[in-house]
Amino acid sequence: MPNAELLRQLLAELARVGVDGDHMVAGLSSRSEEALRALRTLPDGAGAAAFLAELRNQGGSVHEDKGREEKSRGIA
């Protein structure tokens, strides 16, 4: 899938779920396909917390979580 189309779909799904795409996309470290898969499992308006939880459940990650894990292990 061309990158522009993938980004369009990702932003559309973020908006549908109620996540601000202008702020969320920059923080994702998972692949776009993984983010789309997680978003598509969520109901309309589920919000950012539900999206992040679903990413974690599916094995994706977010930069913030990595930083917290590293701090908890003394790597920062």
Q: What is the pLDDT of residues 17-74, one digit of tens each?
A: 999 877 765 556 668 888 899 999 999 999 999 998 998 898 855 554 444 444 444 5
What is the pLDDT at residue 34? 87
Instruction: Kindly report whether the global pTM for this prediction surpasses the value 0.85.
Output: no
Sign of CA dihedral 65, 29, 61, 66: negative
What is the pLDDT at residue 35? 86
Residue 69 CA to residue 37 CA, distance in Å, equals: 24
What is the pLDDT at residue 2? 74
